């Protein structure tokens, strides 16, 4: 029995790894691909807007669906199949209708897949062990992200942008294979919804009302802080990328001694800015999970939320490419803390409610709205007043997120699990 559970846990390791892989191509890269398919800018803008709006609208229904689904594994499976088909459609049918269907399919699948991974995790190991386990998930996801960014970037550059989506579709198969390694019988469906098991179960047989969950102070504060955090965070890397493209001078490679073109150098620096945080997350996420048990959630969350204004402030006053790359270490700290602590705090908050996944949908909605606001406002600030002002605006927003948590966020860890 314990060895069977270990097999399920190892399945979960690689499942989070491959899910990160199959999600990489769907980001800003889609716009690049569509221009190579002779799409005009108006249509690309339209499809991206439809994608982000339906994405926002689908987070709550997605979380709700995972709560009511009897098998979290089966719904995760459907979501992976949906993402695979979406990638295939994008590669083989780049007409407006084809891309529209693919985009909607991807949005719907992703809104289910995100909460489903956390639900499977909670259902597999239970509330007491979920902190370190979420840390392990974050480690495997970021290794997947980092490798996929390198792989997809190379494939897009060396073979064709279309090949990125063919590889994505093919990677859905090992993703499914790893999901099957997680035994259905190892996932407790009640625990996966944030319900209680054992003697307490009879007291809270039915899930609590949605309204009661949504009025919980800890959920309201965390949701608002997440909105502010992503309002500060989402525009930062794209803005850094544009900065890199504009400021990097003629470059002589330090060791090789050959000069490379400005465009290649800027692309390489942006790639570094993407990979560095993933390395940091991979290194520290399990430790973050253990700290959240030892110290409680609040202090660890505060460390993560403090790293963002620090990073924004560095970017506001400095434009040296190497300092910018170094500041991405702070992004890794944010990534590790949020990747572990957000689902963990939500599991605390929704504990006994049977609505863990709906709570995840609430957090994901706030994240999405914040990110949308971020790109719009920072884009405006950067064009109107320059990127320094834009970074300053983001730094102030990030500081507001930190203060929100500092002033209003209660400790959510159950008393018994603290050491």
Partner 1 sequence: MGVTARCAFWCALLPLLLSLPLAGGRGAEEGQASAVPSKLESVLGRDVATAYEGDAGRIIDLLVDRDGTVRAAVVEFGGFLGIGTRKVAIEWAAFRFSGRSIAVDVSREQIRAAPEYKATDSTSLVRATNE
Interface residues toward partner 1, by CB under 8 A: 10, 14, 18, 24, 27-32, 35-41, 149, 151-153, 155-156, 159-160, 162-163, 166-167, 169-171, 173-174, 177-178, 181, 237-238, 240-242, 244-246, 261-264, 266-268, 270-271, 274, 383
Of 233, 186, 266, 265, the closest CA to residue 342 belongs to 233
Cβ 32 to partner 1, closest distance in Å? Answer: 5
In the complex with partner 1, the residue whose CB is nearer, 210 or 245, is 245
Q: How far apart are CA 125 and CA 121, in angstroms?
A: 6
Cβ 165 to partner 1, closest distance in Å? Answer: 9
Residues 6+ apart with CB under 8 A from 380: none
Dihedral of CA 37/42/45/49: which sign?
negative
In the complex with partner 1, the residue whose CB is nearer, 211 or 257, is 257
In the complex with partner 1, the residue whose CB is nearer, 21 or 193, is 21
Cβ 26 to partner 1, closest distance in Å? Answer: 10
Residue found under tokens 């699990």: 417
Cβ 266 to partner 1, closest distance in Å? Answer: 5
Q: How far apart are CA 113 and CA 372, in angstroms?
A: 21
In the complex with partner 1, the residue whose CB is nearer, 266 or 398, is 266
In the complex with partner 1, the residue whose CB is nearer, 177 or 205, is 177
List the structure tokens of 215.
Answer: 């009025």
In the complex with partner 1, the residue whose CB is nearer, 178 or 357, is 178
Residues 6+ apart with CB under 8 A from 116: 66, 72, 75, 76, 79, 357
- Chain CA centroid to CA 211, Å: 26
In the complex with partner 1, the residue whose CB is nearer, 244 or 405, is 244
Cβ 90 to partner 1, closest distance in Å? Answer: 13
In the complex with partner 1, the residue whose CB is nearer, 25 or 393, is 25
Distances (CA, A) of 213 to 194, 256, 347, 358: 12, 59, 12, 9
Cβ 120 to partner 1, closest distance in Å? Answer: 17
Cβ 195 to partner 1, closest distance in Å? Answer: 31
Cβ 226 to partner 1, closest distance in Å? Answer: 22
Cβ 131 to partner 1, closest distance in Å? Answer: 25
Q: How far apart are CA 230 and CA 317, in angstroms?
A: 21
List the structure tokens of 289.
Answer: 């999970």
Contact 76, 179 (CB under 8 A): yes
In the complex with partner 1, the residue whose CB is nearer, 152 or 399, is 152
Plot region of 126 (φ>0 → left; ψ -120 to 50 → alpha; else → beta): left
Residues 6+ apart with CB under 8 A from 410: 217, 218, 221, 298
In the complex with partner 1, the residue whose CB is nearer, 171 or 394, is 171
Residues 6+ apart with CB under 8 A from 172: 22, 80, 81, 83, 84, 87
Q: How far apart are CA 134 and CA 36, in angstroms?
A: 39
Q: How far apart are CA 313 and CA 333, in angstroms?
A: 16
Say whether 353 sits in a helix, a strand or coil.
Answer: coil
Cβ 346 to partner 1, closest distance in Å? Answer: 28
């Amino acid at each position: 029995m314990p060895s069977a559970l270990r097999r399920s846990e190892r399945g979960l390791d690689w499942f989070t790894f491959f899910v990160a892989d199959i999600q990489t191509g769907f980001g800003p890269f889609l716009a690049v691909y569509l221009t190579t398919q002779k799409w005009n800018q108006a249509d690309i803008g339209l499809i991206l807007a439809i994608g982000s709006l339906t994405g926002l609208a689908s987070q709550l229904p997605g979380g709700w669906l995972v709560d009511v689904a009897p098998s979290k594994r089966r719904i995760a499976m459907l979501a992976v199949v949906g993402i695979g088909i979406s990638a295939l459609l994008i590669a083989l049918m780049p007409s407006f209708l084809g891309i529209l269907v693919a985009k909607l399919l991807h949005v719907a699948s992703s809104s289910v897949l995100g909460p489903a991974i956390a639900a499977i995790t909670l259902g597999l190991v239970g509330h007491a062990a979920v902190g370190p386990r979420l840390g392990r998930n974050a480690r495997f996801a970021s290794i997947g992200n980092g490798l996929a960014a390198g792989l997809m970037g190379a494939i897009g550059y060396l073979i064709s942008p279309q090949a990125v989506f063919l590889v994505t579709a093919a990677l859905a198969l090992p993703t499914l294979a790893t999901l099957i390694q997680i035994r259905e019988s190892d996932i407790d469906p009640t625990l996966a919804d944030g319900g209680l098991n054992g003697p307490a179960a009879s007291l809270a047989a039915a899930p609590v009302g949605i309204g009661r969950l949504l009025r919980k102070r800890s959920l309201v504060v965390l949701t608002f802080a997440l909105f502010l955090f992503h309002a500060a965070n989402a525009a930062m890397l794209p803005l850094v990328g544009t900065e890199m493209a504009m400021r990097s001078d003629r470059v002589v490679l330090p060791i090789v001694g050959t000069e490379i073109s400005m465009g290649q150098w800027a692309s390489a620096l942006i790639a570094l800015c993407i990979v560095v945080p993933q390395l940091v997350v991979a290194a520290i996420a399990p430790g973050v999970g253990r700290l959240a048990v030892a110290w409680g959630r609040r202090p660890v969350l505060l460390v993560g939320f403090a790293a963002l204004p620090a990073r924004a402030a560095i970017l506001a006053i400095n434009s040296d490419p190497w300092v910018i790359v170094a500041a991405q270490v702070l992004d890794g700290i944010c990534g590790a803390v949020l990747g572990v602590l957000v689902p963990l705090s939500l599991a605390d908050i929704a504990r006994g409610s049977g609505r863990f996944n709906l709570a995840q949908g609430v957090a994901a909605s706030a994240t999405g709205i914040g990110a949308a606001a971020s790109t719009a406002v920072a884009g405006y600030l950067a064009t109107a007043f320059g990127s320094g002002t834009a970074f300053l605006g983001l730094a102030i927003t990030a500081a507001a997120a930190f203060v929100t948590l500092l002033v209003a966020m209660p400790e959510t860890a159950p008393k018994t699990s603290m050491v």
